[in-house]
Amino acid sequence: MSYEMKPLTCNPGALSGLSEKIIVSHYENNYGGAVKRLNAIEQELAELDWATAPVFVVNGLKREELIASNSMILHELYFDSLGASPASAGLLAQLQQDFGGMAQWAAQFAAMGKAQGGGSGWVLLAWSARDNKLINTWASDHTCNLAGATPILALDMYEHSYHMDFGAKAAAYVEAFMNNLNLAAASSKLAALKGA
Ligand SMILES: [Fe+2]
């Protein structure tokens, strides 16, 4: 089976403070690149002789498969996270319970993004099934995820997400991202995860 790019879910021309050019470039080059890379890796894996392959080939291909898979999945969530819309009552109640309110959650999430400025990684709002709670999780690359948790909102802090619009001003990018949160999409994802 080969992976295909999902259509861009946000309207790139309708975001506040984020240019259409950077969103389209991010979608085509970085997300598209991950999907292409994943398909090339899957092809190599399909042709591998597992009985004789050197361990560094097995390790390398499976590591790269994980990186490309998570890059694809997290980028899909990132574009899904853009497009200002309100949170449901269910998401608001969960944020109140786990963070003390929407403002407190947003302050923590934005601070985590700004703290990654100059580096790279992801900030994820994830539902932890183990503890039945939402948690903001830190990721220094595509493979850092809390075991058993499912991200419902993703902030990409790789430089390609902001440099074209903001130069090195990562904090300004984080502010723009926070002004475009698609909280309706996050609300639906949370409801599905909770079986509500
Ligand atoms: Fe990205």
State pLDDT tens for residues 122-178. 999 999 999 999 999 999 999 999 999 999 999 999 999 999 999 999 999 999 999
Half-sphere exposure of 2 (CA within 13 A, CB side): 10
CA dist., res. 163 & res. 175, Å (int): 14
> What is 89-194's CATH number, 3.20.20.20, 3.20.20.70, 3.40.50.720, 3.55.40.20?
3.55.40.20
- The confidence score (pLDDT) of residue 51 equals 97
Q: What would you report as the CA-atom Rg of the chain, rounded to the nearest whole angstrom?
A: 18
Q: Domain residues of the chain, as ranges?
A: 20-80, 89-194
- Using the mean position of ligand 1's atoms as its centre, give its distance from the Cα of residue 80 in Å: 13
Length of the chain: 196
- Using the mean position of ligand 1's atoms as its centre, give its distance from the Cα of residue 32 in Å: 10
Residue 196 banded pLDDT, cuts 50, 70, 90? low
Is 167 buried (19+), middle (13-18) or exposed (0-12) by CB count in 10 A? exposed
- The CATH number of 20-80 is 1.10.287
Q: Which H or E run includes 122?
A: strand 122-128
Q: Which H or E run includes 190?
A: helix 183-194
Evaluate if pTM is beyond 0.75: yes
- Using the mean position of ligand 1's atoms as its centre, give its distance from the Cα of residue 159 in Å: 8
Phi, psi torsion values for 192, nearest 5 degrees: -65, -40
- Using the mean position of ligand 1's atoms as its centre, give its distance from the Cα of residue 173 in Å: 13
- Using the mean position of ligand 1's atoms as its centre, give its distance from the Cα of residue 4 in Å: 17
pLDDT tens column, 99-127 = 999 999 999 999 999 999 989 999 999 99
- The confidence score (pLDDT) of residue 118 equals 87
